[in-house]
Chain A
Amino acid sequence: MDILQAIASGIAFGVLYGLIGLGFSIMYRTTGILNFAQGDLVVLGGYVVVRLDQHGWPLGLALLVAGLAVGVFMALIERIVLQRVYGYGLAYPIVVTVGLALAIESGIQLVEGATPEFPPLLTADAPIDIGGVHVTHQQIAVVIVAVVLAALAIGFVEWTRVGRALRAVAVDRHVAGLLGIPAKWYFTLAFLVGGGIAGVTGGLLGDAYTLTPTLGLSLSLAGFTAAIIGGLGNGYGAMLGGILVGVLENLAVLYISPGYKEGVALGALILFLLVRPDGLLGEPAAHGRAV
């Protein structure tokens, strides 16, 4: 029964990781940039939701506003900063996003202080008992919202006209340009969508996390792991990878030690990168491999 319990709460954590990984994937697939500030964007979204909730806003609206605010913020950063450093190699975008992560982290700390905040719950946090496994209403609600959000994002990329253009830019920005798709704006769009997902995810942290300004890095790592295990750039894969990571972590707590909860996820990340860098669902890509 312990195993089932661990799997159940693992899934509740996992969908959050999946959403973070999904944001990464959308940005990476289109622009080829790994956004190291993704976890911090989630934290930023979390703080927005907490504050709006304290002002008595309805939670749904607060989530929406957080998503929009964080998405627009990230899009602006992309427009103003990142677009200047494309083409200068691998290090510049990484250093910029890492600098952004540091700035967001300490900016939040400066404005909000280091006292932990508790993100609002989506529903009453009553546990229900399914065959000996305890799950809370909150966990169920988070899973539902996360799956809907992921479905919306994936559907947008896969089935809409704009999403198709986004994928065209990802395949070859020059040819896309010849077909009248302005790659520049679609890069910004990818960051808008990825940032928006991060913002909403922040509002879903609920009883899974206590919000602190320094939470970002571990969220980013979990998201990276989810995206890599699923196949970097693959939306379904990110969600699948996230759930796998969440379950693995909870099994590690059960069987190894709580201190090494993250270690198992990291081990999985390293193993996948070495053995199958394209992840479970990713298509084998020539880039990222040595000759």
Chain B
Amino acid sequence: MSSVLTSERVRDGLGYRPLRYVVLLVVAVLFCTNGGLSPADEFIGALIAVNVIAALGQVVMYGWTGLLSVGQAALVGTSAYTFAIAENHGHGVWASALLAMVFATFGGALLGVVGTRIRSHYFVLVTLALAEVVNLVLDNQITLTGGENGLPAPIGLDLGFVQLTSSRDLLVGSAVVAVLGMYVCSALKSSRLGLGMRTLNANEILGLTSGVSPRAARIAASSVAGVFAGVAGILFAAVTGFLGPSDFNLAEALVLLVGVVIGGMASVPGATMGVIVTSYLAVGVPSLNVKGPLIYGLAVIVVLMITPVGLAGTVSAARRWVTRMRPRLARRRVAAERPVL
């Protein structure tokens, strides 16, 4: 994994460049408010934005740190249920949101602590088991969570300075948060902490000799994943207004993971694209219904057969090919590819 050693500009389409995110933000808001979307589309769009936010956590955790978790959806669920239950008990939006964030972040940090002890397949299994435990609790603590009948939550968010009530408000709100999340994620990627995580992933010994603490980096990564899951959960509760255990099961975790993998793991824009595709397949095409998962599962297999490096990897491979074809440009690129470490 030489990704750590090449400069951000070459690796990542957008990179850590604030202006680009401002442009992206404006485009996203214009797209969401142009009036061409039906309320159903807006609902689906908001759900996709929520998935993007949750998947950013997966990028930090797996793409950079190498902790493969299938528990991200369960963290989102933890946050969504905490938020809804607190709101239903008459707590304010901010207090409920804070509580939800604390729970999700704590849950994420817990995964990180586990991740300092065990790795690879064993870690995947722990996250799988913990996610199933969360689902069992959601299913069985009926007085608190409504069990399989689900739990109604107040639709919309009243943040005080801004009220998100209609489906369009919620779409715009989620899209704005998603773009902000992408920006934070990109900034984190080129920060000292992000570099540390990616160095450990590329070569643990190299990381250790560079003074990166594997323990701290792993716990930090999974806590960040928890934060993203927390935000996603709050938005999910506000957008759907109804929570069921099946919203946060393994299939949902896979929508996130598969999106990140086919998008290209460590790349923020790549993963975002991937998750938009997988979430759209998962939530946006209700007519597929039974055939949906079949097509979805087969699509995953076929995409990975054809392009094992993911969409972003294919894009950068194509870019390298173009670069090779254009020698003059190549010389400029070489200058940009100087190692940063």
A91 within 8 A of B: yes
- List A residues 234-291 near B (Cβ within 8 Å): 257, 259-260, 262-263, 266-267, 269-270, 273-274, 277, 287-291
A171 within 8 A of B: no
Q: Is the CB of A106 within 8 A of B294?
A: yes
Q: Select which of B250, B294, B300, B304 is within 8 A of A110 by beta carbon.
A: B294
Most buried by A among B66, B126, B291: B126
Residues of B within 8 A of A259 (CB): 136, 139-140
- List B residues 121-170 near A (Cβ within 8 Å): 121-122, 124-126, 128-130, 132-133, 136, 139-140
Q: Is the CB of A101 within 8 A of B297?
A: yes
The docked-state distance in angstroms from the alpha carbon of A257 to that of B136 is 12
The docked-state distance in angstroms from the alpha carbon of A102 to that of B288 is 14
Residues of B within 8 A of A260 (CB): 136, 140
Nearest Cβ on chain B to A16's Cβ, whole angstroms? 19
Nearest Cβ on chain B to A268's Cβ, whole angstroms? 9
The docked-state distance in angstroms from the alpha carbon of A95 to that of B58 is 14
Residues of A within 8 A of B251 (CB): 102
Q: Which of A82-90, A139-147, A151-159 contacts its partner?
A: A82-90
Residue of B nearest to A114 (CB): B290
A94 within 8 A of B: yes
| Majority secondary structure of chain A interface residues (helix, strand, loop or mixed) | helix
Q: Is the CB of A289 within 8 A of B126?
A: no
Known: A106-B293, A110-B294, A288-B118. 9 other contacts (CB 8 A): A88-B309, A90-B124, A95-B257, A99-B299, A100-B297, A103-B293, A103-B297, A103-B298, A274-B118
Q: Is the CB of B304 within 8 A of A92?
A: yes
A81 within 8 A of B: yes
Q: Is the CB of A287 within 8 A of B204?
A: no
Residue of A nearest to B204 (CB): A291
- List B residues 168-227 near A (Cβ within 8 Å): 204-205, 208, 214
The docked-state distance in angstroms from the alpha carbon of A221 to that of B136 is 13
The docked-state distance in angstroms from the alpha carbon of A89 to that of B259 is 16
Mark A46-63 against chain B: 1 for CB-CB distance below 8 A, else 0.
000000000000000000
A176 within 8 A of B: no
B-contacting residues of A (Cβ < 8 Å)?
28, 32, 34, 80-81, 84-85, 88, 90-92, 94-96, 98-107, 109-110, 217, 221, 224-225, 228, 232, 257, 259-260, 262-263, 266-267, 269-270, 273-274, 277, 287-291
The docked-state distance in angstroms from the alpha carbon of A90 to that of B122 is 11
Nearest Cβ on chain A to B254's Cβ, whole angstroms? 6
Q: Is the CB of B118 within 8 A of A289?
A: yes
Residues of A within 8 A of B117 (CB): 274, 289-290
B62 within 8 A of A: yes
B311 within 8 A of A: no
The docked-state distance in angstroms from the alpha carbon of A98 to that of B256 is 13
B340 within 8 A of A: no
Q: A106-B297, A277-B118 are in contact. Are A84 and B124 (CB under 8 A)?
A: no
Nearest Cβ on chain A to B289's Cβ, whole angstroms? 10
Residues of B within 8 A of A266 (CB): 129, 132-133, 136
